[in-house]
Amino acid sequence: GESVGLHLPTLSVQEGDNSIINCAYSNSASDYFIWYKQESGKGPQFIIDIRSNMDKRQGQRVTVLLNKTVKHLSLQIAATQPGDSAVYFCAEMNSGNTPLVFGKGTRLSVIA
Amino acid sequence: EADIYQTPRYLVIGTGKKITLECSQTMGHDKMYWYQQDPGMELHLIHYSYGVNSTEKGDLSSESTVSRIRTEHFPLTLESARPSHTSQYLCASIGFPATEAFFGQGTRLTVV
């Protein structure tokens, strides 16, 4: 696809500030939208998911917002900490036998 | 702690060699996936499976094959390795009806 070979966009935030990471998804039929965090040298780790019939879901220090009208997903991290520095990927899937597809990631750098 | 394991962690092989990357999980998950990821880049789906004897192709499947003879095992085979296969290969699994994917530590492959 057109994104092959392109490096990930970077978001730099000051420690303690809130971070907002955005993602545009492609399949309006997806049942679930999920955020993953990938630290250097590790596989992605699940953060939070949201069903397609919801528009907001909150976790510990994180909130995911889903706007199906414009196919947009966002992850908000409150009081960003140095340990939040990582690459964040959105992903989408159906409850049936369809694959887990990852979107373009965003590298979050927290400035102490 | 995720019970999904990949071997080897690192592999350097010559062009034209046939190799098999191993992935095993002990969580009884039906869904398993293989992704290719260059450092700091996106995850590209290679193959996936919904259960024993089911395999499906992803976007990068043309030069590799997989098998799913047992629930816990999902090996990926490159019939003839090329330098363009140099990358990190990540295996993941999801248990029904969850959305959380568990990833292995990855295999970093270098083809010389």
Q: Which residues make Cβ contacts (< 8 Å) with residue A110, sequence separation at least 6?
A: A12, A13, A14, A15, A80, A81, A82, A84, A85
Q: Encode pLDDT of A31-47 as tens digits.
A: 999 999 999 989 999 99
pLDDT of residue A5: 41
**Is the CB of residue A8 less than 8 Å away from at least one CB of chain B?**
yes
How far apart CA A59 and CA A48 sit, in angstroms, is 7
Q: Tell me: pLDDT of A1 over 50.
A: no
CB contact under 8 A, A8 and B41: yes
Contact A3 B42 (CB under 8 A): yes
Residue B66 contacts A where some CB pair is shorter than 8 Å:
no
What is the torsional sign of CA B35, A39, A33, A106? negative
pLDDT interval class at A6 (50, 70, 90): low
Interface membership of B32 toward A (CB under 8 Å): no
**Contact yes or no for A55/A70 (Cβ under 8 A):** no
Say if CB A91 and CB A104 are below 8 A apart. Answer: no
Return the residue in A87, A97, A107, A109 with the most chain B beta carbons within 10 A, the one to mutate for interface testing. A97
Q: What pLDDT is attached to residue A7?
A: 63
Question: Which residue did the predictor score with more confidence, A98 or A67?
Answer: A67
Q: Smallest Cα–Cα separation from B83: which of B60, B112, B63, B56?
A: B112
Conformational region of residue A73, where left means phi above 0, alpha means psi within -120 to 50, and beta covers everything else: beta
* Pairs across A and B, CB distance < 8 A: 66
Q: Which of B42, B68, B90 to mutate to test the interface with A (most CBs of A within 10 A)?
A: B42
Is A88 part of the contact surface with chain B (CB cutoff 8 Å)?
no
**What is the β-pairing status of strands A101-102 and B64-66?**
unpaired
